[in-house]
């Protein structure tokens, strides 16, 4: 297979796993978090920043790159790695989430999903075959199957129809996949209905693929509902393949899902929050726009070793946000991505030491902003 998963340690007290994902563009230590680079860029930071932070893989998006600049241009210029000057691994989302997020501008049929472009109103048709072909032309290391992501609390009748269609689309994706440089992952849907989730696991995993993902979470349900569902469903995925929880989430979401056996994550939350002045710290969340920081000489997080915290004060960062300076976005993003990547490094070390349960409990405490007991 073009991607090989090596699982070499399981935590003694939880389902947390420690492994490595070997790709054509390097090895990625698991569990890991992928910064989201939807349009071939992680907003507000450069590729040198990502390397300095220790990111080993980033995410791109088929739908957005198809619209602009187009997969033909990217392929002409040497593929997505060369186009964005990123020599490490890339995973591309299939465009399936846009079936959910662009609900007012799309129509779903058995053939695929037709969209009205959010850029110029033009009409586009994305089918399972086209999604796979685009991702292969982009040169992604990991390709995601084209699926429909229904709202988490959709009625059972809608979920039944959606799951059946997603299974048929998966088989078409697998038939279209050339098994070249990129590895195709299947996606399990089913909302919060555990019966449907279990059944869809069986259907998706019946298609032999290098990895499998859980989709359709963090789309309207409560964190507690999501955590309970993932805890039931994640262990059902094949133990010898990487398990990916798509589009999730907060640090508490991540450590809880790792506890259930998840290996891979992505989410826009750390970068989006950063652009709004909200930082994740070891003392809880910090709103840099708050006037109480106007004269505060302390770093955002005294326990953090990122460039932002080593170099700048809360007062300076608040000033940058108040003045709408672009540097504010970069410094805040650097910190939040460092926080997430450090969280993954800590999780990996805790799993190796067979103390993951205690690690996860401490993360939950500190993310709540409560002082140690």
Catalytic residues: 93, 266
Cα–Cα distance between 239 and 243 in angstroms, integer? Answer: 8
Cα torsion 251, 257, 263, 268 to 10°: value is: -40
SS3 string of the chain?
Answer: CCCEEEEEEECCCCCCEEEEEEECCEEEEECEEECECCCCCCCCCCHHHHHHHCCCEEEEEHHHHHHCCCHHHHHHCCCHHHHCCCCCEEEEECCHHHHHHCHHHEEECCCCEEEECCCCCCEEEECHHHHHHHHHHHCCCEEECCCCCCCCCCCHHHHHHHHHHHHHHHHHHHHHCCCCCCEEEEEECCCCCHHHHHHHHHHHHCCCCCEEEECCCCCCCCHHHHHHHHHHHHHHCCCCCCEEECCECCHHHHHHHHHCCCCEEECCHHHHHHHCCEEEEECEEEECCCHHHCCCCCCCCCCCCCHHHHHCCHHHHHHHHHCCCHHHHHHHHHHHHHHHHHHHHHHHHHHHCCCHHHHHHHHHHHHCCCCCC
Burial of 109 (0-12, 13-18, 19+ CB in 10 A): exposed
Structure tokens at 41: 């860029």
């Amino acid at each position: 297979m073009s991607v090989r998963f090596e699982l070499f340690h399981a935590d003694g007290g939880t389902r947390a796993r420690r492994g490595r994902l070997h790709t054509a563009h390097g090895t990625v230590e698991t569990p890991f978090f992928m910064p989201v680079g939807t349009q071939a860029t992680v907003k507000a930071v450069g590729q040198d920043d990502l390397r300095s932070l220790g990111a080993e893989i980033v995410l791109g998006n088929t739908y957005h790159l198809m619209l602009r600049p187009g997969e033909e241009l990217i392929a002409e210029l040497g593929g997505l790695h060369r186009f964005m000057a990123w020599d490490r691994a890339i995973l591309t989302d299939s465009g399936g989430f846009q079936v959910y997020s662009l609900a007012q501008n799309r129509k779903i049929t058995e053939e695929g999903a037709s969209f009205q472009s959010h850029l110029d109103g033009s009409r586009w048709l994305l089918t399972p075959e086209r999604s796979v072909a685009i991702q292969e032309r982009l040169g992604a290391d990991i390709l995601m199957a084209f699926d429909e992501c229904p709202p988490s609390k959709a009625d059972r009748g809608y979920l039944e129809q959606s799951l059946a269609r997603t299974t048929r689309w998966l088989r078409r994706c697998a038939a279209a996949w050339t098994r070249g440089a990129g590895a195709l992952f299947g996606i399990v849907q089913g909302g919060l209905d555990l019966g449907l989730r279990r059944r869809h696991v069986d259907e998706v995993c019946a298609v032999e693929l290098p990895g499998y993902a859980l989709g359709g979470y963090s789309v309207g349900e409560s964190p507690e509902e999501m955590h309970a569902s993932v805890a039931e469903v994640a262990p059902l995925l094949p133990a010898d393949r990487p398990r990916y929880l798509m589009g999730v989430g907060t640090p508490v979401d991540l450590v809880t899902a790792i506890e259930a056996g998840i290996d891979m994550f992505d989410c826009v939350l750390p970068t989006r929050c950063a652009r709004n002045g909200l930082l994740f710290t070891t003392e809880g969340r910090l709103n840099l726009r708050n006037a109480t920081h106007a004269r505060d000489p302390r770093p955002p997080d005294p326990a953090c070793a990122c460039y932002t915290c080593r170099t700048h004060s809360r007062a300076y960062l608040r000033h940058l946000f108040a003045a709408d300076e672009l540097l504010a976005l970069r410094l805040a993003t650097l910190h939040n991505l460092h926080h997430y990547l450090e969280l993954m490094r800590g999780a990996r070390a805790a799993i190796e030491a067979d103390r993951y349960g205690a690690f996860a409990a401490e993360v939950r405490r500190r993310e709540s902003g409560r002082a140690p007991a």
